[in-house]
Amino acid sequence: MNVTRIASLVAAVGLTTSLLGAQAPPPPPVQSTPTPAATPKPAPQTTATASTSGGPFDGGAVNPRLAGVPIYTGAAFLQSFDLDRGQTVFVFGTNDTYAAVVGFYKNKYRAQEVSKTPPIQQFDLGSFDSGSMSQRPSVVVKDFAWPDASAAYLHVVGAKQTRYVTVIQIIPTR
């Protein structure tokens, strides 16, 4: 394994761990007897989810930069953020097992185990150009059910909290 590949893997694990390991603080408690003017309106739904009865959906439905990247069936778009050098990370969550998600991407891309504990797999989407990229274009799948499913990744939007046992991080080629 060459030095660039090792550095990329270390950066991917560090990025995944820092991004996905952080937990958002819980929302403030709701008043037990709210006044009509203080009743919060539900936040608009901003997550894109594939139909669980259909197959995978094309990432272009979430963002044009993901066009051509298959998104795991039933994965919900959680957030995206910019990296250095014009790259963007897209994060999805699902409550399907880590093995099912890894199996889906193994049929499409070359897999590499990044970590056994916690289980993390990386699937390369393209070649890494150190002159124009800070991270390798890839799909990274992390098992948040390990070692305890009750400690799943907590995603908070407004007052809505959702836990995901498997998180998918996608860095497209451009």
pLDDT of residue 38: 45
Compute mean pLDDT per 10 residues along the chain, 174 residues long, and list them. 44 47 49 46 39 61 86 92 88 94 92 92 91 91 85 82 93 83
pLDDT of residue 159: 86
pLDDT of residue 35: 45
pLDDT of residue 94: 94
Residue 140's closest CA among 26, 20, 43, 5?
20
Q: Which residues pair with 84 in a beta bridge?
A: none
Q: Could you give the CA distance from residue 136 to residue 142 in angstroms, rounded to a whole number?
A: 16
In order, the DSSP letters of 157-168 are: ETTEEEEESEEE
pLDDT of residue 120: 96
pLDDT in tens, 19-40: 444 444 445 555 544 444 444 4
pLDDT of residue 48: 44
SS3 172: coil
pLDDT in tens, 92-116: 999 999 999 999 999 899 899 999 9
Asked whether 104 and 170 are in contact (CB, 8 A), the reply is no
